[in-house]
Structure 1
């Protein structure tokens, strides 16, 4: 069974980035990049991905779409928006982290993550380190942001973190990030990385993708 067939099966049913799930139209502009950073913070907590996605949508619906609006909102307004998204277990501490992060982003990078990117000057490990200066963004959050932002920041490609590589190994795709980026084809490595993370977390996704790939291989024989 060809690896390309497995990737096609995985992407057919489980493709799509987490940013897209959250309604972020990711571009290399300040607002969607900031929303992706907030999503990475939400996703890095031990909570269902669907809850994190719903919470990002709730924050956006509350008008908290950029660091200035996030900082200007009251602590309770942020808590209320987090609660509407279902992020209740971590709402109080996350409200504080969101404000602190917005303040730092405005003060140090003028509210624009592209300035952080410029400071890293194409060095992805440096960028990963800078991301972790943001309150609430640890190694996991930095990996989530980089996995997704590679769709618009070419110097990050290929970025398949330990979770994505675990999903790839479960599907028999190996752990070579460069090869995985090629296997992604027109969908792009960010989309494949997100699908592989889902596969790393869900046995049913692995089984369904392999079953669909086997069926496709038999049909093509």
Structure 2
């Protein structure tokens, strides 16, 4: 299915004066949470007990949790709370011995460096388009927001932040996708609804979405997310982009202030948000960029972006497509 480029809306609200975090708690019976379906025994049997810290978590009346399969794990296999990407050793400088009597230390080195730069800037256009056509995913695909026009509306950006937070845990991709979809289904991508929820309600929503293993810490992190977005960005994460001055490094530093969203989560967030924050494009997370190199597409993001007509939505679909190629181990399908 072809997706039209998003209509990006500008949100220029001024930064709000930070407010102290809300400590109000509501009981599980609150009308703000409507459970969409009963937990099935099959879903209950998928995950082991949570080991997450319960910094604000009350007891859950003996709810039992069962083991969860470890196949098709999302990028979060490095650890918890904002896992960092693997460090890729670049090797030594490649400097050899100095040879006496030569005019220069590395005769012909300049030509070799120039040739290498030309190779790195070469993009395999057919493979790049194949990634999008066969594996590309638009932001918030397979959620209730998938059929809506993709814009920089506050609820869209918050949904992308929640998506990155939940998917940066070492849980199977299908389960995290189901949890993200359910969180959006009950309206937690709207800051007012999320702010009215209690810890118990958030934990139950995550459980109903299949996010059992980290539901307790997830419920806590969602509460902290409300406090940060309301207190520092006046309820709208678009103000984070404004505060960063459209600088990706600054924006990355600010987004990592969200509890439970570290380097890995920031990567997942930027893969998606570039579609509606064009100043953040072109972006591909480090692991997916390595996949692009492995399959022969190349790693020159500017050249890839140019090949995609500098369309930020296509760049987002490309980044997400590379992620799926890696998760599903389909590199051979692109290389063929």
Q: TM-score, normalised by structure 1?
A: 0.88
CA distance in 2, matches of 1:8, 1:124: 25
Q: How many residues align?
A: 209
SS in 1 for 2:303: helix
Map residues 114-129 of structure 1 onto 2, 5 A cutoff: 114-129=238-253
In the other structure, the counterpart of 1:110 is 234
Alignment counterpart, residue 153 of structure 1, candidates 258, 277, 281: 277
Seen in structure 2, the aligned counterparts of structure 1 residues 166 and 22 have a Cα distance that, compared at 3 Å, is: farther
State whether residues 3 and 173 of structure 1, in contact with CA within 8 Å, keep that contact through their aligned partners in structure 2. yes
Deviation per CA, 1:44-72, whole angstroms, max 9, x where unpaired?
11122222221111112223222221121
Alignment counterpart, residue 331 of structure 2, candidates 189, 206, 218: 206
RMSD after superposition:
1.7
State whether residues 240 and 254 of structure 2, in contact with CA within 8 Å, keep that contact through their aligned partners in structure 1. yes
State whether residues 167 and 173 of structure 2, in contact with CA within 8 Å, keep that contact through their aligned partners in structure 1. yes
Seen in structure 2, the aligned counterparts of structure 1 residues 68 and 50 have a Cα distance that, compared at 3 Å, is: same
Alignment counterpart, residue 133 of structure 1, candidates 257, 263, 270: 257
CA distance in 2, matches of 1:48, 1:135: 21
> Once the 2 structures are TM-superposed, how far is the Cα of residue 16 of structure 1 from its aligned partner?
1.3
Deviation per CA, 1:160-203, whole angstroms, max 9, x where unpaired?
12022022012111211112223335661111011111222232
CA distance in 1, matches of 2:207, 2:265: 21
Q: Which has the higher contact order (CA 8 A, sep 6+)?
A: 2
Deviation per CA, 1:82-137, whole angstroms, max 9, x where unpaired?
11221110000000000011111101111101111100011110000000111111
CA distance in 2, matches of 1:55, 1:115: 27
- Following TM superposition, the consecutive aligned residue runs of length 4 or more in structure 1 with deviations greater than 6 angstroms are none
2:130 is the alignment partner of 1:6: no
2:143 is the alignment partner of 1:22: yes
State whether residues 152 and 276 of structure 2, in contact with CA within 8 Å, keep that contact through their aligned partners in structure 1. yes
Listed as ranges, the gaps of 5+ residues in structure 1 are 212-221
2:167 is the alignment partner of 1:43: yes
CA distance in 2, matches of 1:23, 1:208: 30
In the other structure, the counterpart of 1:77 is 201
Seen in structure 2, the aligned counterparts of structure 1 residues 18 and 155 have a Cα distance that, compared at 3 Å, is: closer
Structure in which a larger fraction of residues adopt helix? 1
In the other structure, the counterpart of 2:266 is 142
State whether residues 132 and 314 of structure 2, in contact with CA within 8 Å, keep that contact through their aligned partners in structure 1. no
CA distance in 2, matches of 1:75, 1:178: 44
The structure with the largest alpha-carbon Rg is: 2
In the other structure, the counterpart of 1:215 is none
State whether residues 167 and 196 of structure 1, in contact with CA within 8 Å, keep that contact through their aligned partners in structure 2. yes
State whether residues 164 and 265 of structure 2, in contact with CA within 8 Å, keep that contact through their aligned partners in structure 1. yes
CA distance in 1, matches of 2:304, 2:287: 14
Deviation per CA, 1:18-44, whole angstroms, max 9, x where unpaired?
422334343111011101110010111
2:282 is the alignment partner of 1:170: no
CA distance in 1, matches of 2:131, 2:282: 18
